[in-house]
Amino acid sequence: MTGNFLLSDQKIFPFKSSSPLSLGIELELQIVSPYSQNLVARAKDLIKNLKNSPYHELIKPEITQSMIEINSSIHRSPQKMQKELSRIQTFLMEQAKELGISICGGGTHPYQKWSFRKIFPTPRFKNLSQRYQYLSKRATVFGQHIHIGCSNGDDAIYLTHALAFICSI
């Protein structure tokens, strides 16, 4: 394998190697009203407040304005990653409280109206919204992505298949 990957839009992206078995995590989180627990479009306010914080590069907007994403640093130890995420969580909860909002995660929101979602105004998200139309708003899913470093594309494919097999047993 050459390490290049072809995506559905016919662009070829080179495989970006990383230190084997390094760890990283992405958490997509809901921004909700503490009173109604409904999603609220307050990501712009939250991101604006984080601009001068030590976490401004780790807490980012997601496709709709009722969600944000936390990206951990790259780690060699799950314990150190957990400590970092705990510090980010504490900071994020303080920021949310100042804005009168709450943060929660997991799966999908139980009673959100996808048609009410507002796309976060970045060129990337606007492009995705134009390309996928209503699906961009409808796919408001709050998940967790764990990244495991691999030195080459062959190892990444092998690890993906091995993990899929383990999860299917």
Q: How confident is the model at residue 125 (pLDDT cuts 50, 70, 90)?
A: confident
DSSP letter assigned to residue 63: S
Region 153-157 average pLDDT: 89
One-letter amino acid at 69 equals E
- pLDDT score recorded for residue 1: 42
Region 25-37 average pLDDT: 95
Query: Is 4 a domain residue?
Result: no
- pLDDT score recorded for residue 46: 96
pLDDT digits (tens, 9 = 90+) for 58-109: 999 998 999 999 999 999 999 999 999 999 999 999 999 999 999 998 888 8
- pLDDT score recorded for residue 94: 95
Planar angle of CA 121, 122, 125, nearest 5 degrees = 90
Query: Is 2 a domain residue?
Result: no
Instruction: Specify the 3-state DSSP secondary structure of 46.
Output: helix
Q: How many percent of the chain have pLDDT more than 70?
A: 93
pTM of the model: 0.82
One-letter amino acid at 167 equals C
Query: Is 14 a domain residue?
Result: no
Domain count, the chain: 1
CATH number, domain containing residue 99: 3.30.590.20
d(CA 123, CA 129): 10
